[in-house]
Structure 1
Amino acid sequence: MESLVSTEWLAEELGAPDLKVIDATIFLPGAGRDARAEYEAEHIPGAVFMDLDEIVDASNAAPHMLPPAHKFSSRMQTLGLGDGHRFVVYDNSPLHSSARAWWMLRVFGAHYVALLDGGLQKWKAEGRPLESGKVRVRHGHFTAFVEEEAVADKAYVSGLVHSPSHEIVDARPASRFAGEEEEPRPGVIPGHIPGAKNVPQGELFNADNSWKCGDELRAAFYEAGVELDKPMVTTCGSGVTAAVLLFGAHLLGKNDVKLYDGSWSEWGADPATPKSVGSA
Structure 2
Amino acid sequence: MAPLEPQEKVLVSEDFLESTHGELACVDCHGGDDTADDKEGAHEGFDPHPSINNPQETCGECHEEAETVPQSLHVTLSTFPGYLEKRASEDTWERVDHGRDRHCASCHTSCGGCHVSRPKYSGKGFVNGHIFSAKPDPVNQCTACHGSRVGNEFYGARGQGDVHLREYNMSCEACHSAEEMHAAAPEGLENRYHLEEAANCKDCHKDLQYGSVRDHRIHNNKVQCQVCHSQTYVNCYSCHTGTDEAGIAYFINNHEFEGMKIGFNPDRIPNNNYKYVILRHVPVDHKLFDYYIEDGFPRFDVSPTWKRASPHNIQRRTWQNANCNNCHGQRDLFLDESDLLDYEIKANIGVTVADDQIPPKRARVMPLNIDSSKVEESRVVTIEWLNEHLDDENLVILDARKESEYEHGHIPGAINLDPNATEGLRTDPYSEMPLTIEEDETLAETLGEYGIGIDDHIVVYAKRGMDAGFLLGILEYAGAENISILNGGIIAWELADYEVSDEEPDWEEKTFAIKSRKNLLVDTEYIEENLDNPAIKIVDVRVMQQSKGLIGHGLADRPGSIPGSVKFPLPGLFMDDSYLKSPEELLWVLRERNIRPNQTIVVSCNTGNWAAAAMFMLHYLGYQDVKLHDESWINWDG
Q: Give your verdict on TM over 0.5.
A: yes
Aligned to 1:134: 504
Counterpart contact for 1:87–1:114, Cα < 8 Å: yes
| Structure 1 position 48 matched with structure 2 position 415 | yes
2:451 alignment partner AA: G
Aligned to 1:150: 520
Give, in angstroms, the shift of residue 259 of structure 1: 0.6
CA distance in 2, matches of 1:243, 1:75: 18
Give, in angstroms, the shift of residue 111 of structure 1: 2.5
Counterpart contact for 1:204–1:220, Cα < 8 Å: no
CA distance in 2, matches of 1:116, 1:63: 29
1:94-115 deviation digits (Å, cap 9, x = unpaired)? x612112112112112221111
Aligned to 1:13: 389
Change (3 A) 1:65 1:136: same
Counterpart contact for 2:476–2:616, Cα < 8 Å: no
CA distance in 1, matches of 2:600, 2:398: 30
Aligned to 1:68: 439
CA distance in 1, matches of 2:581, 2:435: 26
CA distance in 1, matches of 2:396, 2:490: 15
Aligned to 2:548: 178
Report the 3-state secondary structure (helix = DSSP H, G, I; strand = E; otherwise coil) of the residue aligned with 2:378. coil
Change (3 A) 1:209 1:104: closer
Written as runs of structure 1 = structure 2, the 5 A alignment for 1:198-237 is 198-206=567-575, 209-237=578-606
CA distance in 2, matches of 1:219, 1:245: 16
Aligned to 1:31: none
Change (3 A) 1:141 1:64: same
Structure with max Cα Rg: 2
* Among 78, 84, 104, the residue aligned to 2:449: 78
Report the 3-state secondary structure (helix = DSSP H, G, I; strand = E; otherwise coil) of the residue aligned with 2:539. strand
Change (3 A) 1:174 1:83: closer
* Among 72, 87, 107, the residue aligned to 2:477: 107
Written as runs of structure 1 = structure 2, the 5 A alignment for 1:233-248 is 233-248=602-617
Aligned to 1:249: 618
Change (3 A) 1:57 1:230: same
Change (3 A) 1:260 1:84: same
2:445 alignment partner AA: S
Report the 3-state secondary structure (helix = DSSP H, G, I; strand = E; otherwise coil) of the residue aligned with 2:448. helix
Counterpart contact for 1:83–1:110, Cα < 8 Å: yes
Counterpart contact for 2:551–2:559, Cα < 8 Å: yes
Give, in angstroms, the shift of residue 229 of structure 1: 2.2
Give, in angstroms, the shift of residue 174 of structure 1: 1.5
Aligned to 1:89: 460
* Among 427, 442, 466, the residue aligned to 1:57: 427
Report the 3-state secondary structure (helix = DSSP H, G, I; strand = E; otherwise coil) of the residue aligned with 2:499. coil
Change (3 A) 1:244 1:76: closer
Give, in angstroms, the shift of residue 66 of structure 1: 0.7
Give, in angstroms, the shift of residue 208 of structure 1: 5.2
Report the 3-state secondary structure (helix = DSSP H, G, I; strand = E; otherwise coil) of the residue aligned with 2:386. helix
Counterpart contact for 1:62–1:265, Cα < 8 Å: no
Give, in angstroms, the shift of residue 222 of structure 1: 3.1
Bigger shift: residues 55-64 or 8-17: 55-64
CA distance in 2, matches of 1:253, 1:72: 26
Report the 3-state secondary structure (helix = DSSP H, G, I; strand = E; otherwise coil) of the residue aligned with 1:9. helix
1:180-238 deviation digits (Å, cap 9, x = unpaired)? 1222326x311110010011111123465321223310233234343442110001111
CA distance in 2, matches of 1:78, 1:244: 23
CA distance in 2, matches of 1:163, 1:156: 11
Counterpart contact for 1:198–1:224, Cα < 8 Å: no
Report the 3-state secondary structure (helix = DSSP H, G, I; strand = E; otherwise coil) of the residue aligned with 2:484. strand
Tell me the percent identity. 28
Give, in angstroms, the shift of residue 145 of structure 1: 3.0
Counterpart contact for 1:213–1:251, Cα < 8 Å: no
Aligned to 1:24: 400
Q: How many residues align?
A: 258
Report the 3-state secondary structure (helix = DSSP H, G, I; strand = E; otherwise coil) of the residue aligned with 1:167. strand
Counterpart contact for 2:462–2:578, Cα < 8 Å: no
Give, in angstroms, the shift of residue 75 of structure 1: 1.2
Give, in angstroms, the shift of residue 14 of structure 1: 0.7
Give, in angstroms, the shift of residue 124 of structure 1: 1.7
The two structures, once aligned, show a CA RMSD in angstroms of 2.0
CA distance in 1, matches of 2:410, 2:435: 23
Give, in angstroms, the shift of residue 87 of structure 1: 0.6
1:84 alignment partner AA: D
Report the 3-state secondary structure (helix = DSSP H, G, I; strand = E; otherwise coil) of the residue aligned with 2:459. strand
Q: Which runs of 5+ in 1 are unaligned?
A: 26-34, 274-280
Aligned to 2:403: 36
Report the 3-state secondary structure (helix = DSSP H, G, I; strand = E; otherwise coil) of the residue aligned with 1:2. helix
Report the 3-state secondary structure (helix = DSSP H, G, I; strand = E; otherwise coil) of the residue aligned with 1:114. strand
Aligned to 1:276: none
CA distance in 1, matches of 2:504, 2:433: 30
Aligned to 2:564: 195
CA distance in 1, matches of 2:434, 2:386: 32
Change (3 A) 1:213 1:160: farther
Give, in angstroms, the shift of residue 17 of structure 1: 2.4
Bigger shift: residues 59-68 or 76-85: 59-68
Give, in angstroms, the shift of residue 84 of structure 1: 2.7
Report the 3-state secondary structure (helix = DSSP H, G, I; strand = E; otherwise coil) of the residue aligned with 1:168. strand
Counterpart contact for 1:69–1:144, Cα < 8 Å: yes
Report the 3-state secondary structure (helix = DSSP H, G, I; strand = E; otherwise coil) of the residue aligned with 1:10. helix
Give, in angstroms, the shift of residue 63 of structure 1: 4.3
1:230 alignment partner AA: Q
2:501 alignment partner AA: E
Counterpart contact for 2:463–2:577, Cα < 8 Å: no
CA distance in 2, matches of 1:247, 1:82: 19
